[in-house]
Amino acid sequence: MAPTPFFSDRGCHVRIYEQARVLTQMGQQVFICTYHLGKDVPGLDIYRSRNVPWYKKITAGPSLGKIYLDLLLARKSWQVIKNQKPELLHAFLHEGGLLGPWLKRWAKVPLVLDLQGSLTDEIKAHKFLGQNRLALKIFQLLENWAVRGADAVLTSSRVISDLLAKTELPPEKIFIISDGVDTNIFRPAADKAAVRKKLGLPLDKKIIVYLGLLTDYQGVDILLRAAAKLCQAEPSLFFLIMGYPDVDKYQKMALDLGLSSNVRFTGRVDYFKESPEYLAAGDLAVSAKISLSEANGKLLNYMAAGLPPVVFNTPVNREILGDDGTYAELGNERDFTDKIKQLLDNDEARRQLGQKLRRRAEEHFSLEAIGGKIMAVYQQVLSKKMSSKKITPFWRIFYSYRRRHLTPPYFPSRLWIEPTNHCNLACPVCLNKQLPVEQKGFMEMSTYRRIIDEAGGRARDIYLHHRGESLLHPELGEMIAYAKAKGLAVRLHTNATLLDEAHARILLDSGLDFISFSFDGYDRQTYEKIKAGAKYDQVLANIFNFLKMKKQLGREKPFTNLTVIEFETGGADARTKKINQKEFLTKFQEWTPDSIRTRRPHNWGGALESTGRPKVRTNGFMSCTFLWYSLTVLWEGTVLPCPQDFFGRLSLGNVNQTSLTELWNGPLAKILRQSMSGRPSELLEPCRHCDRLFRRQILGVPVEEIKNYLRDNIFGYKSPKRK
């Protein structure tokens, strides 16, 4: 939100423009809300408030008419927020500071303010309200309220940051993001003579340039008086003065000082098209701005153009130019004049300083450098919002999914964590056999604790299972207990082949919330064909024994579930299958699990070409829900967006190096979510061949998952009371 007639070729507008441009280049979507006045800039998405024909002022400074414009701007911003659903609000200037907190509350997104000074200090400095103490007090209270409502405040210099620290703004919320400059557009001329010729500037004179507003506040009168003295001693000097608004006033002053043949006033120059060329024609630059706190962005353009500037010795100027600036004593016109003369007299020193400053601009003030810093602040405020110890309600996730938010502002509600990818079976329909032995292992407890410490209080539950048999992990009981201590619900899926009494006891004592027994086949022949290596009777006995122990120990948890995936084995026909199923269910009359579910196999993101699976009924392409509610972590820490990507082709990063919070909204996660909004042909691999996207669904949830979805998120799991 830019409460100003953007774009108008001046300091704060350049800052807004440079930031918007680099963020757009970095793949962010930026919408600029601004006044009805100003130039449109190609490549930026600009929304203007309603036209107010009587308001034409585009220069800086306070005015009462702006109150009306700000209200219209708030209305426009509100409309844009409603339609575009941004993830973050970035408001500029003091008016942005006052409007931003209201919009933040309404939009429920973090607010970043970009302030270049204290509002109350500026009102005092400009004597806008005279010395009305009550009015100043009201503004001070308003300012305190505004900065307290921001999640971060950006300023362009340390001086301004120190000033803001005197308000009620906590120091950890203040970030110094200096102005940036496009070092590709602003650069030294390869052929200075050709540029001068093109612009009609003298070829044989030393040219001193000034680019900026023409006001006393910028020290233009000081500059002209210095020019007069210099030109008296050296009539061949030439001053090129670019800017507005008070051109007539300063032209007259130049005439009075006898500078008619030594000065050219260009008036307003186009920031993008003209100012880079004019600067490239110069030998030296100047800025006589005296303010101790206000930004001085023109110095960056000078530096990028390889022009060494002469300035007053102020903290703001020192912060920009460092040790390579040429500083005159603050407010001392004679010293200012002398410093210009010294630099003009020493061509080699000027050339070397110009080169050093150009390098400094590239290193510290290039758009790329600035963009990286802004993104880091954005990430911080967004992740702070995500790191609130709150489990996201399901409707919030659902809303984000329906709106296809690219960076959902919450922590995933479910994690699949793989204790191991070793398995004691060798099922023909499972891809585990294809994993090379060197890619197999057991999760270290340090990795596991790192995950749980981050997820505790933020995720709803974890599923301790992915590509292997979790009971093989020697510390499984500890893992469950650790997650429980951090407030997470824990779920487990097992083939139950190793579920002897000792394991059953560990699980029943661990606080486990949900256990699912994988039992794929109703009769012995089918089961042992699918679960190669498992013994039908033995596994059934393990399950019964677990259910019996649970009852004997009087445990309410875990909720027990038997899952049968109905693979087509080419054996039994439909009728025989029905009979087998009926017979199978009679076995559970004495020891009954809390639920029995039959499921269809999925194709592991297309990795399993032929499962002999039943045909998946489709009603069109839907976006993958996993991307909006879960992450999967492999045993060595690789983080995936979903548990269907068996071979880890969609690695988002590693939790041992990067937090889950960062990976959740990292670059690949965003690309994946974006791809779900396009056509199937735009999907990445393995999503492109994943059958999950073509299942029957209601409001985005696969029909067969709806019951589980509601149980997980609304009703919870409770074992029915049995005698």
Does residue 117 belong to the site contacting ligand SF4 (CB under 6 A)?
no
Residue number with CB closer to ligand SF4 (411 or 626) = 626
Contact with ligand SF4 (CB under 6 A) among 645, 697, 702, 712: 645
Residue number with CB closer to ligand SF4 (604 or 635) = 604
- Min CB(573)–ligand SF4 separation in Å: 32
Does residue 686 belong to the site contacting ligand SF4 (CB under 6 A)?
yes
- Min CB(642)–ligand SF4 separation in Å: 3
Does residue 641 belong to the site contacting ligand SF4 (CB under 6 A)?
yes
Residue number with CB closer to ligand SF4 (96 or 686) = 686
| Structure tokens, 59 | 């220069």
Task: Extract long-range pairs of 528-531: CB within 8 Å, 24+ residues apart.
Answer: 529/428, 529/569, 529/571, 530/427, 530/428, 530/429, 530/567, 530/569, 531/425, 531/427, 531/495, 531/497
Does residue 224 belong to the site contacting ligand SF4 (CB under 6 A)?
no
Does residue 626 belong to the site contacting ligand SF4 (CB under 6 A)?
yes
Does residue 692 belong to the site contacting ligand SF4 (CB under 6 A)?
yes
Burial class (CB in 10 A: 0-12, 13-18, 19+), 714: exposed
Tally Cβ neighbours within 10 Å of residue 454.
18
Residue number with CB closer to ligand SF4 (175 or 628) = 628
Stretch that binds ligand SF4, among 247-255, 309-317, 437-445, 690-698 (CB under 6 A): 690-698
- Min CB(28)–ligand SF4 separation in Å: 23
Residue type, 3: P
Q: What secondary structure letter does DSSP report for 604? A: T
Contact with ligand SF4 (CB under 6 A) among 16, 33, 259, 687: 687
**Closest CA relative to residue 468, chosen from 596, 639, 643:** 643
Does residue 611 belong to the site contacting ligand SF4 (CB under 6 A)?
no
CA–CA dist 119, 130 (Å, integer): 14
- 3-state helix, strand and coil shares in percent for the chain, rounded to the nearest 5: 45, 15, 40
Residue number with CB closer to ligand SF4 (412 or 605) = 605
Does residue 601 belong to the site contacting ligand SF4 (CB under 6 A)?
no
Residue number with CB closer to ligand SF4 (173 or 695) = 695
Does residue 690 belong to the site contacting ligand SF4 (CB under 6 A)?
yes
Residue indicated by tokens 């100047």: 286
- Min CB(429)–ligand SF4 separation in Å: 18
CA–CA dist 69, 449 (Å, integer): 53
Does residue 460 belong to the site contacting ligand SF4 (CB under 6 A)?
no
Stretch that binds ligand SF4, among 67-75, 322-330, 404-412, 686-694 (CB under 6 A): 686-694
CA–CA dist 157, 296 (Å, integer): 10
Residue number with CB closer to ligand SF4 (46 or 607) = 607
Does residue 642 belong to the site contacting ligand SF4 (CB under 6 A)?
yes
Residue number with CB closer to ligand SF4 (178 or 603) = 603
CA–CA dist 569, 530 (Å, integer): 8
Residue number with CB closer to ligand SF4 (317 or 630) = 630
- Min CB(651)–ligand SF4 separation in Å: 12
Cα three-residue angle 49-50-55, rounded to 5 degrees: 95
Total residues contacting ligand SF4 by CB under 6 A comes to 13
Q: What secondary structure letter does DSSP report for 713? A: I
Contact with ligand SF4 (CB under 6 A) among 371, 605, 637, 702: 605
- Min CB(604)–ligand SF4 separation in Å: 8
Q: Are strands 326-328 and 309-312 parallel, antiparallel or unpaired?
A: parallel
Does residue 644 belong to the site contacting ligand SF4 (CB under 6 A)?
yes
Residue number with CB closer to ligand SF4 (250 or 629) = 629
Stretch that binds ligand SF4, among 3-11, 158-166, 172-180, 640-648 (CB under 6 A): 640-648
Task: Extract long-range pairs of 92-97: CB within 8 Å, 24+ residues apart.
Answer: 92/1, 92/2, 92/3, 92/4, 92/12, 92/15, 92/16, 93/2, 93/3, 93/4, 93/12, 94/119, 94/122, 94/143, 95/3, 95/66, 95/70, 96/1, 96/2, 96/3, 97/143, 97/146, 97/147, 97/150
Residue number with CB closer to ligand SF4 (279 or 430) = 430
633: CB partners within 8 A, 6+ apart: 415, 416, 417, 418, 451, 639, 640, 655, 660
Residues counted in the chain = 723
CA–CA dist 535, 497 (Å, integer): 8
Does residue 693 belong to the site contacting ligand SF4 (CB under 6 A)?
yes
Q: Are strands 238-242 and 263-267 parallel, antiparallel or unpaired?
A: parallel
**Which parts of this chain interact with ligand SF4 (CB under 6 A)?**
605, 624, 626-627, 641-642, 644-645, 686-687, 690, 692-693
